[in-house]
Structure 1
Amino acid sequence: MTMLKDILYKVNINSVTGSTLVSVNEIHFDSRSVSLNDVFVAIRGTVVDGHDFIEKAINAGAIAVICEKLPEQIVNGVTYVEVKETQSALAHMAANYYENPSANLKLIGVTGTNGKTTITSLLYQLFKKAGYKVGLLSTVKILVDDKEYKATHTTPDSLTINKYLKMMNDAGVEFCFMEVSSHGIHQKRTEGLRFAGGIFTNLSHDHLDYHKSFAEYRDVKKIFFDQLPKDAFALVNADDKNGLVMIQNTRAKKHTYALKTYADYKANVLENQFTGLLLKLDDNEMWSKLIGVFNAYNLLSVYATADLLGLEKMETLRHISELESVDGRFQYFISDTLITAIVDYAHTPDALKNVLNTINNIRTGNEELITVVGCGGDRDKTKRPLMANIASSLSTKAIFTSDNPRSEDPEVIIEEMEGGVEPQNFKKTMSITDRKQAIKTACQLAGNKDIILIAGKGHETYQEVKGKRKDFDDFKIVREFLNQLKK
């Protein structure tokens, strides 16, 4: 039996109408899920306002309502708790309801524009290899030790996070690695969680449809580090000018990593090939199957985190050399006709530039580099011309196509991309709205030893058009087309 008063611990309450000495069943912020003796939390979302559904929740059996503004009509027998922010209240209530599971394991949050999924996934792999029970909360999947669940958001809602953390407690998980998005921080989804450490990767152009300005986007990321407890660690990329900004006001122990500047953890890239990276870490040379300078940063942050969490350094280096790349992150294969196809999630200007620079640094220059790229609908429009400019400047040929157009017209998105192409690069570009046809065309244009990059969707196995999702896997499709060429 859960008492309402117990799950309200640490919630900023303005007023209470009714009794908090009532037993409650579950917590919901979707009125459609409410049943007898549940608590309904009215969240003001970007599309709908939960306050409009209070009456519906009560009719469905809600015994308590958490809101920012009391409804005009008060129903006898229902407890109304008026709070400053319902998003914050939900986060603390979720943690209390599930018995504060984050305090019973070492929870590490990874935030930044690029690298979150790779770093959390590599840390999961590494600590599993080291013999620990491990949890993962990532864009790609949720793992409770060996059991896998489907992920729907970069940072799930507070109830979902705490539910999985409680499952990890029950499974004996010692470490959990979690992606922390700017949306998740802004919507208070990570409040009420106790982090043992935070990692900052980098900051570049993304989510400006949501945050309105780069400064706001940066400052929201910084909140995560501001809230870390003093016994946690804050590990930041010192090569990114925003790295030191993140830890200006943190109480956590500060640590830095870098390839170029002075830092607590340093690495040098000795070799960078399609077969992998040769790195020098703490005066030890180490080979990794991962590719590209951006992955050197990812691996260095993984090494630093393992050290900060107490793993022995030589053991960590041995495990790092065995780590596999993450689905949709510079995932590649070489066809029988010696065409290299690379699928990458790069959906920001900075990520696309990193991937293309990595390829250009490795290739001899005699090969063609054909890039297939689109931009998502209902998202930050300002990055569309930037993405097209980068693709057309750094590739031999660039094919603009659909990504996930969602509710937008894909041809309009492509037109906005085309506006960023510089005159000298016009002849290098073409636009093919149908993504499958665009990938097929890239395969037909490619010759012996050429390179095809398909950017933007990475691990996603669907395409979202007009509110509907259809099966679509870049890696499978390009493999099928290239296999047909040998016949």
Structure 2
Amino acid sequence: MLTGVTVRALVGSADVAVHGLTLDSRQAQPGTVFFALRGVQADGHQFIPKAVEQGASVVVCEELPAELADATTYVQVASSAEAMAHVAAAFYGHPSRQLKLVGVTGTNGKTTCATALHNLFRELGYHVGLLSTVQNQIDEQVIPTTHTTPDAIRLNELLARMVQAGCTHAFMEVSSHAVVQHRTTGLQFAGGIFTNLTHDHLDYHGTFDNYLKAKKGFFDGLSKQAFALTNADDKRGSVMLQNTAARRETYSLRGPATFRARLIENAVHGLHLDIDGRDVQFRLIGVFNAYNLLAVYGAAVLLGEDPTEVLTILSGLTPAAGRFETIVAEKTRITGIVDFAHSPDALENVLSTIADIRQPSQQIITVVGCGGNRDAGKRPIMANLACQGSSRVVLTSDNPRFEDPNDILAQMQAGVQPADLGKVLTIADRREAIKTAVALAQPGDILLVAGKGHETYQDVQGVKSDFDDRQVLREMFALLGK
């Protein structure tokens, strides 16, 4: 089970019966392996005594504790996170080797691509698994999710459940955090997709270069049997392919590539594209979705599917939850758009898409906030982008977490140019912000509520309360009809 693990020291018996793995000392018990991980918030090594007290049979750690229990085996390793990934893969029988597993990474588009691939291959007749920000799925069975990419134990357990359920394919979002934290180490991927790379998660990675290296690390780890499909129109797309052993493939809307598309029309009813000489209408909207569709198409073809059949099914797909999801007020025909856009690039893409499809008479009213305890550098940028792309802007809370919402809003307000001050309102209460935006809208206008998308909660001081932008928007629209 320690194959692939760099063991520095072994204290105790190596002959131990193991029936469970955990990184939570509270879940340790006889027969389990406890992994002491160094995290951002806490160091798992300080919980080793608790895990031993709970009866953990094996402790995997980077530093041996001062006091060692006679009945416990201690395995000192170079990296607890990396060791956990290898051990978890072996413990669950290397389920990724029994699936065609495709990972999707990049700043934006991961959820849309992974979800579209899952839905596409279900329509093609396969049993399929999905690991995404919105939800995990085994065919139609929905499993709640807490992270973009689960920890290595949970991840391999889910993949094993997919294998047991008869799945042949699985599609997953691969976050930059997951790569750095070795959550995907030890997995065998059939392919990887790169969507794009823009300013995000610098609160965690520190620099953009580190963020870039984290994404690239996923492709560096692909085998020569896999494919690496990258966006040729993103200037970092070629970087992803520099050191990969995988087959190098590309997609593009602007130049030569393995898979090419030409945008014919981008309208409120959907996209009209020419893909590799095939004329296709899609229900998704926006140039960013043209890239997502092309990536999904390319990956499906690389997995051996018929191009015509793939495009036929993709033409009927609808957006992932909270991704450019539209809600229309019946009486006033105000169009509400709820989108997960929480980075400058994502917000700019959504606003650009709305600008492309709106009529001259339609105002764009944007409600936007920024999350707490996350990259503060993007806050003034996002406020400025909202002003540049909107007639009116309401700045509000997102998930403030452990920060003061007013401090976040002050940082956003710093990005508002003097000429735009008259179009901006600041309302910390998100429900009131949406209500005010609806009141500002005239019949036929477009109202964008950005930042939370599919989320059904608001995180304030560690407490998650029910809050769904889509539900609130529907409630406010319903009041317009009375």
> Of 321, 325, 348, which aligns to 1:327?
321
User: d(CA) in 2 for partners of 1:288 and 1:36?
Assistant: 55
Match of 2:479 in 1: 484
Output the CA distance in 1 between the equivalents of 2:442 and 2:478.
Answer: 13
Distance 2:233 2:255 in 1: 6
Residue in structure 2 matched with residue 148 of structure 1 by the alignment? 142
Q: How far does residue 12 in structure 1 lie from its aligned partner after superposition?
A: 0.9
Matching of residue 277 in structure 1 with residue 271 in structure 2: yes
Query: 2-side partners of 1:134 and 1:195: how far apart?
Result: 15
Tell me which amino acid in the other structure corresponds to 2:232. A
5+ residue gaps, structure 1, are 1-6
User: 1:51 Cα shift?
Assistant: 1.0
Q: Aligned to 2:376, what secondary structure does the other structure show?
A: coil
Structure 2 counterpart SS, 1:359: helix
- The equivalent position to 2:446 in structure 1, one of 437, 441, 451, is 451
Is the Cα–Cα contact under 8 Å of residues 232 and 238 in structure 2 kept in the other structure? yes
Partner of 1:217: 211
Question: 1:37 offset after TM fit, Å?
Answer: 2.1
How much does 1:261 deviate? 2.3
Counterpart code for 1:70: L
Work out the percentage of aligned pairs sharing the same amino acid: 52
| Distance (Å, rounded) in 2 between the aligned partners of 1:58 and 1:288 | 56
Q: Secondary structure of the residue that 1:222 maps to in structure 2?
A: helix
Question: Which stretch of structure 1 is more off in the superposition, 359-368 or 399-408?
Answer: 359-368
Which whole-Å deviations, capped at 9, do the CAs of 1:44-78 have from their partners, x for residues lacking one? 11111111111111111111111111111122122
1:423 aligns with 2:392: no
Q: Is 1:112 paired with 2:106?
A: yes
1:44 to 2:38 alignment: yes
1:418-444 per-position Cα deviation (integer Å, ceiling 9, x unaligned): 001111111111101110001001111
In structure 2, distance between residues paired with 1:344 and 1:228? 32
2:469 matched to 1:474?
A: yes
2:162 alignment partner in structure 1: 168
- In 2, distance between residues paired with 1:143 and 1:388? 35
Q: Distance in 2 between matches of 1:153 and 1:482?
A: 32
Which residue pairs with 2:382 in the alignment? 387
Q: Could you tell which deviates more after superposition, 149-158 or 473-482?
A: 473-482
1:312-351 alignment runs, 5 A limit: 312-336=306-330, 337-351=332-346
Match of 2:300 among 303, 306, 314: 306
Q: Which structure 1 residue ranges, 4+ long, deviate > 2 Å from structure 2?
A: none
Matched, 1:288 2:282: yes
Give the residue type in structure 1 aligned to 2:126. Answer: Y
Separation in structure 2 between the aligned mates of residue 422 and residue 264 of structure 1, nearest angstrom: 43
Equivalences for 1:65-84 in 2 at 5 Å? Answer: 65-84=59-78
What's the offset of the Cα at 1:107?
0.4
Residue type of the alignment partner of 1:237: N
Q: State whether residues 344 and 381 of structure 2, in contact with CA within 8 Å, keep that contact through their aligned partners in structure 1.
A: yes
- The number of residues matched between the two structures is 481
| CA–CA separation in structure 1 for the residues paired with 2:233 and 2:225 | 25
Matched, 1:399 2:394: yes
| Selected match of 1:197 from 183, 191, 195 | 191
1:98 matches 2:92? yes
- The equivalent of 2:25 in structure 1 is 31
Query: RMSD across aligned C-alpha pairs, in angstroms?
Result: 0.8
Write the letter of the residue equivalent to 2:61.
C
Q: Who is 1:3 aligned against? A: none
Aligned counterparts of 1:123 and 1:72: Cα–Cα separation in 2: 50
Cα distance in 1 between the residues matched to 2:428 and 2:178: 32
What are the ranges of 5 or more consecutive residues in structure 2 without an aligned counterpart? none
In the aligned structure 2, how far is the partner of 1:424 from the partner of 1:258? 37
- What is the CA distance between 1:334 and its match in structure 2? 2.0
C-alpha separation in 1, matches of 2:327 and 2:261: 27
Q: Letter of the 1:253 partner, please give it.
A: R
Equivalent-residue separation in structure 1 for 2:12 and 2:304 (angstroms)? 49
Give CA deviations for 1:322-376 in whole Å, capped at 9, x if unaligned: 1111110000022121111100000000000000000001112221110000000
Amino acid at match of 1:191: T
Determine helix, strand or coil for the equivalent of 1:297.
helix
Separation of aligned partners in 1, 2:45 and 2:71 = 19
Please, which of 387, 394, 405 is the counterpart of residue 410 of structure 1?
405
What is the CA–CA distance in structure 2 between the aligned matches of 1:479 and 1:54, rounded to whole Å? Answer: 49
Letter in 1 for 2:191: G
CA apart distance, 1:456:
0.2
